């Protein structure tokens, strides 16, 4: 657990009307001094303008902060406020960057920036860019990124990544460990920087903005863009998952309705904004007082949502935006007072570690397997080699069933017990035998009898039922096995098959038989003579060969070309597979070196993530090898796809060749291939076959991502507008 006070950075809005006479800024010490001369009109009540009245109006204010940025660029602001929190989030500590200030002071510009010019992009896109750069550089970790975008407008929550519509299912709640989460909020998984920035732009288009005298595009809601991280180690245990998040908060600006001229809906929005910011200030005041037991987080959705960020488990940076003009001095002092109170709040940051249940199950299964092997080795050394600890196979269960049956029948006087496992199995078989006996007794068709004393009172037809035939239905739950009778063996005599007595069969009319034989012989002779006339001097193999060389030469040539291509592709796969095997061996060796390095480290080095130069070089080489292996496997995959297409082409060509030959054969000789004893359709295809073992499976990049994401969202917006117009 790390106790860290909230870091406060003051950023001034650039203006040509800077109040130099009233505001003095020292960027080196972080001190801001404000002077407002006493005014008789401001100091006296209109009813008490008496001579000699003492004006107690305060003239001077002094504030000291962690850093004051005057006329600073977006890049400088990000370097001071954002970089540290990105590295902390990747280390497992949640972070929050919050922009606070009056309306028109530049909060949204600080957080989001300008979408027109890339160099003016704000804190949110810069954090996303640096985050994915760090993820690519961390070879030893597997990091999953998800983003969400929530808006609080008039004390109602909206999911900006779900179209911005109000979702009644959204609810702020705490998990068992006290971490705040929003139930029902959409979290989009992002594989690349471009995906994450596209989601950010998509959410921005759904935000609520309005216009008043001080700001043409004033944010009328509080927005929280959250980056969710799940970090797994590729070197240490994989079941440990580090959960962290980075909240990027753009608060709506506090405003005085007299200056903004808000009316109607804008006035109602201003009331909700000021009310929620007032509750936020009450929470900050309560946290700054050490004796307070109750912190009023639940007064508003904003304070409840930011519970982790203010006084909770997070490293927080607040950017206080001020408008240093003479007309805005009162709002500037109010913002600086709030920022000074925020510096008194201390957060307790901890690394949140969860255990992946699926990975744990696999780990425990492996441990159980290893322990069984070790126990079997111990039994072997102790001359107890017959004992097994794996579950019984069906054959072993049947053997134990026979032993139990023999013991019950008295054929066995004693049972040799090898292990407790065998005892449990025998009891299980005893129970099964008992249950089967009870079912037999309850069966209505069951007739108790003995072989020595048959029941002669039953009729012959009833006694037949007592015999256990093959396939009799047992308890109407299936067919049983029984023993077949000696007379149940089928005979092969034609007399029995047709169910005609032997004597009667011999007395059949011989003339009728002779006539049938003669008619049959005449029919066969005519058929054979007809076929012989048509296939005289026809050699099937030779006819097919001649057809391939003449009429079917083009199809045959295509088949041979495809076969040659197939051989080349498969030879390429063999060579690439050998390269893949070598790369995998090299990767395993590199992993072994890294694992050995981790074993040699102490707990402090592991916790701090210290990597020496040799380990860094090894990780870099490992990344290059994985990249090469991935490309190699992609090439193999492409070759296999090509082989499938070539195989399909060969099959189709073969079918076309045989079909063409059949038409040719029918046209030339007046018969089909079915008229021949050995059809060419079933001819061996050795000339077209290949036996191969390889068939077995075995400009600035940030700017480009930013621009592509922006263009994607812009096109999506145009498409939606056109769809609405058509409707």
Report the binding-site residues for ATP: 101-108
- The number of helices, as runs of H, and strands, as runs of E, in the chain is 22, 19
Contact (Cβ atoms closer than 8 angstroms) between residue 653 and residue 685: no
Distance between CA atoms of 721 and 727, rounded to whole angstroms?
Answer: 10
The contacts of residue 243 (CB under 8 Å, 6+ apart) are: 92, 228, 229, 230, 231, 352, 353, 354
Measured from the Cβ of residue 446, the count of other Cβ atoms closer than 10 Å reads 12
Distance between CA atoms of 656 and 556, rounded to whole angstroms?
Answer: 10
Distance between CA atoms of 80 and 85, rounded to whole angstroms?
Answer: 10
Residue for token pair 């790369």: 583
568: helix, coil or strand? helix
**H-helix or E-strand spanning residue 5:** strand 2-5
Measured from the Cβ of residue 273, the count of other Cβ atoms closer than 10 Å reads 25
Distance between CA atoms of 14 and 105, rounded to whole angstroms?
Answer: 9
What are the backbone angles phi and psi of residue 9, rounded to the nearest 5°?
Answer: -115, 130
Binding residues: 101-108
Nearest to residue 77, comparing CAs of 122, 118, 27? 122
Nearest to residue 219, comparing CAs of 302, 152, 157, 283? 152
Nearest to residue 152, comparing CAs of 164, 143, 140? 164
The pair of structure tokens assigned to 178 is 């006290």
| Burial class of 444 by CB neighbour count within 10 A (0 to 12, 13 to 18, 19+) | exposed
Contact (Cβ atoms closer than 8 angstroms) between residue 698 and residue 635: no
Distance between CA atoms of 446 and 521, rounded to whole angstroms?
Answer: 58
Tell me whether strands 141-153 and 188-190 are parallel, antiparallel or unpaired: antiparallel
Distance between CA atoms of 55 and 93, rounded to whole angstroms?
Answer: 51
């Amino acid at each position: 657990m790390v106790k860290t006070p909230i870091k406060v950075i003051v950023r001034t809005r650039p203006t040509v009307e800077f109040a130099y006479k009233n505001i003095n800024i020292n960027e080196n010490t972080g001190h801001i001094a404000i002077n407002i001369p006493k005014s008789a009109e401001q100091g006296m009540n209109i009813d008490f303008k008496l001579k000699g009245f003492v004006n107690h109006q305060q003239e001077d204010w002094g504030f000291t902060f962690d850093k004051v940025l005057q006329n600073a660029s977006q890049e400088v602001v990000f370097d001071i406020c954002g970089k540290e929190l990105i590295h902390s989030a990747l280390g497992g500590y949640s972070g929050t960057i919050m922009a606070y200030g009056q309306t028109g002071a530049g909060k949204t510009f600080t957080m989001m920036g300008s979408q027109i010019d890339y160099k003016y992009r704000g804190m949110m896109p810069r954090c996303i860019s640096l985050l994915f750069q760090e993820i690519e550089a961390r070879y030893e970790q597997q990091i999953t990124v998800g983003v969400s975008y929530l808006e609080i407008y008039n004390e109602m929550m909206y999911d900006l990544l779900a179209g911005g519509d109000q979702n009644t299912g959204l609810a702020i709640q705490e998990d068992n460990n006290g971490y705040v989460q929003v139930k029902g909020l959409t979290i989009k998984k992002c594989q690349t920087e471009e995906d994450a920035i596209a989601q950010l732009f998509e959410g921005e288009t759904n935000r609520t903005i309005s216009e008043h005298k001080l700001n043409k595009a004033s944010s009328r809601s509080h927005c929280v863009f959250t980056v969710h991280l799940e970090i797994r180690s590729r070197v240490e245990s994989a079941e440990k998952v580090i959960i962290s998040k980075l909240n990027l908060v753009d608060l709506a600006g506090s405003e005085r309705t007299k200056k903004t001229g808000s009316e109607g809906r804008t006035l109602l929005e201003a009331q909700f904004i000021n009310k929620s910011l007032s509750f936020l200030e009450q929470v900050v005041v309560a946290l700054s007082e050490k004796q307070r037991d109750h912190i009023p987080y639940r007064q508003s959705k904003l304070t409840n949502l930011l519970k982790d960020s203010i006084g909770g488990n997070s490293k927080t940076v607040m950017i206080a935006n001020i408008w240093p003009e003479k007309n805005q001095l009162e709002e500037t002092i109010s913002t600086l007072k709030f920022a000074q109170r925020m510096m008194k709040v201390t957060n307790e940051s901890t690394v949140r570690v969860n255990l992946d249940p699926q990975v744990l199950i696999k780990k425990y299964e492996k441990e159980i397997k290893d322990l069984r092997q070790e126990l079997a080795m111990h039994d072997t050394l102790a001359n107890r080699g017959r004992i097994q600890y794996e579950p019984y196979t069906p054959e072993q269960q049947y053997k134990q069933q026979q032993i139990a049956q023999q013991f019950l029948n008295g054929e066995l006087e004693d049972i040799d017990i090898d292990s407790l496992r065998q005892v449990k199995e025998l009891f299980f078989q005893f129970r099964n035998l008992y249950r089967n006996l009870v079912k037999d007794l309850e069966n209505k068709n069951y007739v108790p009898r003995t072989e020595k004393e048959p029941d002669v009172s039953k009729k012959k037809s009833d006694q037949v039922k007592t015999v256990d035939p093959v396939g009799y239905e047992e308890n109407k739950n299936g067919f049983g096995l029984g023993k077949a009778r000696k007379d149940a063996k089928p005979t092969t005599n034609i007399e029995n098959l047709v169910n005609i007595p032997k004597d009667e069969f011999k007395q059949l009319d011989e003339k009728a038989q002779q006539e049938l034989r003669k008619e049959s012989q005449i029919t066969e002779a005519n058929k054979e003579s007809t076929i012989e006339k048509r296939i005289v001097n026809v050699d099937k193999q030779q006819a097919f060969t001649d057809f391939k060389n003449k009429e079917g030469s083009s199809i045959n040539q295509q088949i041979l070309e495809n076969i040659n291509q197939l051989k080349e592709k498969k030879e390429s796969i063999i060579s690439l597979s050998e390269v893949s095997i070598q790369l995998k061996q090299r990767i395993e060796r590199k992993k072994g070196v890294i694992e050995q390095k981790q074993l040699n480290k102490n707990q402090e080095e592991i916790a701090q993530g210290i990597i020496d130069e040799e380990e860094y070089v090894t990780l870099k080489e490992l990344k290059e090898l994985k990249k090469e292996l991935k490309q190699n496997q992609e090439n193999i995959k492409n070759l296999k796809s090509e082989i499938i297409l070539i195989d399909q082409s060969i099959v189709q060509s073969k079918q076309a060749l045989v079909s063409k030959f059949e038409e040719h054969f029918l046209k030339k000789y007046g018969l089909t291939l079915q008229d021949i004893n050995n059809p060419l359709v079933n001819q061996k295809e050795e000339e077209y076959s290949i036996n191969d073992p390889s068939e077995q499976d075995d400009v600035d990049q940030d700017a480009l991502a930013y621009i592509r994401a922006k263009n994607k969202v812009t096109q999506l917006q145009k498409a939606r507008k056109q769809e609405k117009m058509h409707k």
